[in-house]
Amino acid sequence: MTYKTNILFTTIITICTILFFSNKSIAQEKIVKIYISQFVEHPALDSTVRGILDGLSSAGYVNGKNADIRIESAQGNVSLAGQIANKFMSNDPDIVVGIGTISAQSFAKFVKNTDTKLIFASVTDPVEAGLIESLDKTDGNISGVSNFVPLEPQIEMFLQIKPSIKKLGFVYNPGELNSISLIEKLQAICPKYGIELITITAAKTSDVAQSATKIASMVDAIFISNDNTALSAMRMMVKAANLQKIPVFASDTDIVEQGVIAAYGPNQYEIGRQTARMIASSLNGKNIGNMTTEFPDKMELFLNLKAAKASGIDIAPKLIKSAKSIYKN
């Protein structure tokens, strides 16, 4: 091999090596599009979002580096949720995330028959919502994490705090199928505990104050479970209940600091991290069709002793000792 031939050969090898590593680097730096729609802003769903972002970061997906992560809130507006879904889908995302039933439903009609994957989070009943066919079978490119937890342990906790409950109030948005599903379950369960379920609707946040005031005069306690409209106006709910000296219970632990006496439910932040793991698995090549719906790993008890005192309730020391978190001020 002549000197010139050797130089030419070395040059070609060098160029090929540079191109190889350059192309590999480009592949590694591929930006994945993860677009998140949150139906409404309140502590529970906000915690879910934080969990998703932290979980994605732990999995190596960092916004602005190798991921384009966008988050928008529908502010409790069904029409706006549809507009957000339409806008996000027009940008050809890799994965869309619907936080809350209505946001997930808004995406569902767009992702079918496309390559885009839909991961839902904090959806109480994904089957009733029409997102999947059954809990042990996904709908091709849709799966996610439900925030449903058994209702019986929650009712038993209510009765430990206030044994005299005979009428339990439930405020809900009739447009949220998760709430309809919960009402059906509660109507079947409450009579077993000698409790009558009293329901009242609040189609939007501005309706909550009037609905809460009305139902507070009719019941012994109020229960808010996973209804995003009611949760987003929790302070109004608590104010109405305080005037009647009755307790407010919830299944969302993040809301207790707003004056709810007790909540026995899932950790919404951990639900977010569960959701992030599903997102990362899908991005890493796992077939979403093999991912069945996940549920919270455990339930936690949060207590608000100041709220209990305001309602004239003394919580038993045994129950206080079992609480994960206690608010005193």
Task: Decide: helix, strand or coil at residue 42.
Answer: coil
Helix 78-89 vs helix 101-111: crossing angle, to nearest 10: 40
Give domain limits for the chain: 31-146+267-290, 152-265+300-327
DSSP state of 225: -
31-146+267-290 belongs to CATH 3.40.50.2300: yes
What is the C-alpha separation between 38 and 102, in angstroms, rounded? 9
DSSP state of 151: S
Instruction: Please tell me if the domain spanning 31-146+267-290 has the same topology as the one spanning 152-265+300-327.
Output: yes
152-265+300-327 belongs to CATH 2.102.10.10: no
Tens of each residue's pLDDT in the chain, 329 residues: 554 455 545 555 555 555 555 444 444 568 999 999 999 998 889 999 999 999 999 999 999 999 999 999 999 899 999 999 999 999 999 999 999 999 999 999 899 888 899 999 999 999 989 999 888 876 579 999 999 889 999 999 999 999 999 999 999 999 888 899 999 999 999 999 999 999 999 998 899 999 999 999 999 999 999 888 999 999 999 999 999 999 999 999 989 999 999 999 999 999 999 999 999 999 999 988 889 999 998 899 999 999 999 889 999 999 999 999 999 86
- In the chain, where do the E strands start and end? 32-38, 67-73, 95-99, 117-121, 142-145, 167-172, 196-201, 221-224, 248-250, 262-265, 300-304, 325-327
- In 128-243, where do the E strands start and end? 142-145, 167-172, 196-201, 221-224
Q: Are 215 and 222 in contact (CB under 8 A)?
A: yes
Question: C-alpha dihedral over 20, 23, 28, 32, to 10 degrees?
Answer: -160
